Amino acid sequence: ALDAVVACRVFEKLRRCDAHEQWGIATRTRYFLQKTFAFRKLKQQSWPKRLLAFGAMFWAMWSPSMAVAGAMGLAHAKRDILCGSWALCALFILMRSYGEEMLKSSRPLEIYFGKWDPSKASSGLALGVALAASFYAALSLLGFGAPRWVPGAVAHGELVQAAAAGILAGLFQEALFRGLVTKELERDYRKAEGWKAAAIVAVLFASAHRTLDGFLGLALLSLCLSEARKAFRGSLSFPLGLHSGLVAASAVLGRSVYAEMSTAPRWLAGSGPHFLEGALGLAMLSCLYAVLRNKRRKLKSR
């Protein structure tokens, strides 16, 4: 009925226009109707098909960035910044248009991100930095390394690069996995089956990083971030801060602050050492998951 009313108004307007205006109105109307019917069909599909369709649209918007970076002859770091920024912009534009049709909301990003709270984002950021620092401090206490107390050991450019990488990675991955993908899975799984959505997101999140050594750690980190989202009433403020702080702090501490004195066992600290590959990092993430799950249970009981 609504489509019929819209069509009648369009036809009334067409009668009062010249040929050029009629062509423009007809083109916009055709595009609007085709897009609406396409999303209606897509909404009836299962979550794998919906996510594949979203991935195809994102790839079509992001792939030109690689051609632009190649044509400009940029260095590796600058090319990563260009492609990462392009991917973030493409994701937000696509999430907005996709969410407007699938969620039938004029503000879909607010639904995906939840209520933004700077204090929670700062708390998550501090916790991410503390986790990375605790990992390297534990290795130092075990005798595998020591901090470098050298003035100027960390260059300002390296701090800026690590902060930019942390913000880009946290914002992009949380918007995609804890925002859009989680919402799509929650449409198919009820609240009682919410653990299935979290588990699928964890597998997708770990697979997207294309590493076997850190697969288990990445999956556990994803579960922690999903629990944080639930513990803070669907807001991505805390998970985004936690993710960004962990990425940025691990990059700075691992490269410039922590000095390896003897090689730690691979089973304990992974290769590098790396926070997400060894038993030490997995134990810390398991404790974090238990704390966040307990917080969510308290919130649910209240």
3-class state of residue 155 by DSSP: coil
Q: Give all strands (DSSP E) within 22-162, no chain letters.
A: 145-147
Rounded to two decimals, what is the model's pTM?
Answer: 0.87
The pLDDT assigned to 191 comes to: 72
pLDDT band, very low/low/confident/very high, at 246 (cuts 50, 70, 90): very high
The pLDDT assigned to 152 comes to: 59
The pLDDT assigned to 96 comes to: 94
Read off the pLDDT of residues 285-299 as tens digits, 9 standing for 90 and up.
999 999 999 988 888
Which amino acid belongs to residue 57?
A: M
The pLDDT assigned to 72 comes to: 86
The pLDDT assigned to 226 comes to: 94
Residue 118: cis peptide before it, omega within 30 degrees of 0: no
pLDDT band, very low/low/confident/very high, at 60 (cuts 50, 70, 90): very high
Q: Is the pLDDT of residue 203 over 90?
A: yes
Contact between residue 241 and residue 120 where contact means Cβ atoms under 8 Å apart: yes
The counts of H helices and E strands in the chain are 14, 2
In what helix (H) or strand (E) does residue 145 lie, and over which residues does it extend? strand 145-147
Torsion of CA 279, 264, 256, 246, to 10 degrees: 0
Average pLDDT for 187-209: 88
Average pLDDT for 181-198: 86
Contact between residue 251 and residue 275 where contact means Cβ atoms under 8 Å apart: no
Cβ count within 10 A of residue 109: 14
Residue 112, by phi and psi: left (phi above 0), alpha (psi -120 to 50) or beta?
alpha
Residue 218 to residue 213: CA distance in whole angstroms: 10
Average pLDDT, the chain: 87
The pLDDT assigned to 155 comes to: 64
User: Which residue from 224, 299, 221, 244 is spatially nearest to 124, judged by alpha carbons?
Assistant: 244
The pLDDT assigned to 159 comes to: 82
Distances (CA, A) of 163 to 109, 168, 242, 245, 250: 24, 9, 13, 8, 11
Read off the pLDDT of residues 108-167 as tens digits, 9 standing for 90 and up.
999 999 999 999 999 999 999 999 999 998 988 888 877 776 555 566 777 888 888 899
